[in-house]
Chain A
């Protein structure tokens, strides 16, 4: 039987010059730092600057998470990355019916500016870069961050960081959506316009394939849907009247690092080549920074096993190595216990150490694109590119990604791949060490983080204090103004900033817009 990658791609027993005969070095690869950036966006790779070691963290109360951030920074982490809990991601206050049992469980709970002030207490926002994994209410959390900066006396010009703000992949994969696709896209373009003008160093979107892959897509589908989402955002930005070169340089990407080593490296290389052509040829961008695909990488959470959890350290290290050899700009390495719970402090430190070992001990940082020119990797890169471009054609014919999502197209493609993979695991065509082969029935146990209800109680208490102490008339006035902005064509960001300054809660701000735009409900299909 032919060897196949984890995505089901058949691999020939041997690749040779014939497989790369049509490749032209200057046209298709080029030196690192030169169009189409297949070999990387920096001429010197990591020699000039290492990737940012950005460990995603958040749990319980803002106080607990603030302490974890300080620990990660003290251990040599170079950027912050906020994980929010489900009520925050879904724009619900802790006392909403659907927040029952969810407060502080999957991330930190942030309900109002009061929580954000605690979350970044003692952390100089001019000195760190912060990534916030927030999508439907991305503009609300950005507004809170900006107001915290204001209070710290840090100018918005000096702020650097990212909001994920990628609503399309929510409809496609992660499913944390609030409003229907079209008004959701309007919130995204509002942040593009606002950040371009007022927060110039902020990355206003991180177009994410990570969750698409975690939901079960193949590598090619991750590549195709993510970049096609990117095209959709650029098109919406242009349609909203923005000049492509003003906002495109602030678009960044976020990919998964799964276990199939060479396929992953080829995926990152293909992504850079495709995006460079899309931006230059399809959108006629003139600024080379608009052509350069910058990306964050996270190792594959879905590959972690609850069985024999120490094996996850090895999986994560190999996946991280693929991200680095693929030229990532920043990296999160998962902790060994994440199939069981959010990570303990010890597990999170080990995950960071894994990156530091790759960076400082293995020598893989010495050369940009060390696998460039490999017959195998070049062939894989070209094949993945061709497969992604074929998906672009299909989606273009449907009328774009929003239309494709409304038809459920990417959702169905991913569900098919997920089911095929699971069947292969069941049939043991695909080996998962410790799960369907090399099983150890005794089963080692590790200590895990258990989040009890104290966080929920504390967050509920702070919410009550905030409601009692704030100026209720100012809250009502700013929420009315927000609703008005939602009804008109005005940018919603200034109204959100005013609401945040008045300590309006995330639930109140999201509700104000729910009234105008309604809520999205997916048709459940299996």
Chain B
């Protein structure tokens, strides 16, 4: 039987080491009953997508504060398509300038969480939007 727990890979791409947000959110998702895999720091898009594949992730959560999101996110979305991971949801939290938000939505990043977002909002979003694991039974 498939485990109905939502599986989330939380990743810190790029060179930035500010991991407070990633770690707090990873814990909040785990406390909310999800299976959370935290990749740690300095992950390339290739490493993140490969972790999602190996871990059978439903959701990838990215934490980016450095301003590198417009380079990292499109690459991740392309790699996900190449690997056939079409139903893996990608969400991002961090400092995202307003002008970049529509561009991220356009490439398929549906959850964009800015500073000050309650943890519960992120939990609710993921519960509502993650692919259903129960359907695969």
Contacts and interface: CB of A to CB of B under 8 A. Distances in A.
A binds B: yes
Contacts of A426: 118-120
Contact of B114 (A177, A306, A436): A306
Nearest to A439: B116
B104 to A, nearest CB: 13
A489 interface: no
B131 interface: no
Interface stretch (A21-29, A268-276, A414-422, A473-481): A414-422
A98 B41 contact: no
B22 to A, nearest CB: 8
Interface in B1-46: 10, 14-20, 23-24, 26-28, 30, 36, 38-42, 44
Interface in A502-526: 521-526
A307 B116 contact: yes
Contact of A305 (B19, B68, B72, B115): B115
A65 B123 CA distance: 40
Interface string A76-111: 000000000011011010000111111001100000
Interface string A414-436: 01001100100010000010011
Interface string A432-467: 100110000000010010110000000000000000
Contacts of B116: 305-307, 339, 432, 435
Question: Which of A92, A101, A426, A445 has the largest number of chain B CB atoms within 10 A?
Answer: A101
Contacts of A525: 38
Contacts of A419: 23-24, 27-28
Interface stretch (A47-55, A168-176, A188-196, A400-408): A168-176
A100 B70 CA distance: 10
Interface in B99-117: 99, 114-116
B128 interface: no
Contacts of A432: 116
Interface in B46-73: 66-72
A243 to B, nearest CB: 35
B95 interface: yes
A101 B23 contact: no
Question: Which of B24, B39, B114 has the largest number of chain A CB atoms within 10 A?
Answer: B24
Contacts of A176: 15, 17
Nearest to A342: B67
B97 interface: yes
Contact of A422 (B10, B14, B38, B119): B119
Given A305-B115, A305-B116, A436-B118, A175 B17 contact: yes
A425 B95 CA distance: 19
Interface in B79-99: 95, 97-99
A203 to B, nearest CB: 24
Contacts of A339: 95, 115-116
Interface string A296-313: 000000100111000000
B10 to A, nearest CB: 8
Nearest to B15: A86
Nearest to B98: A445
Interface residues of A, number: 46
B15 A98 contact: yes
Contacts of B115: 305-306, 339-340
Contacts of B95: 339-341
A98 B14 contact: yes
B20 A214 contact: yes
A230 interface: no
Given A105-B67, A422-B24, A524 B39 contact: yes
A214 B44 CA distance: 25
9 contacts: A98-B15, A101-B67, A101-B72, A106-B16, A216-B24, A306-B114, A340-B95, A426-B118, A436-B118
Interface of B: 10, 14-20, 23-24, 26-28, 30, 36, 38-42, 44, 66-72, 95, 97-99, 114-116, 118-120
Given A101-B67, A174-B17, A176-B17, 4 more contacts: A426-B119, A426-B120, A521-B40, A523-B40
Interface of A: 86-87, 89-90, 92, 97-102, 105-106, 170, 174-177, 214-216, 302, 305-307, 339-341, 415, 418-419, 422, 426, 432, 435-436, 445, 448, 450-451, 521-526
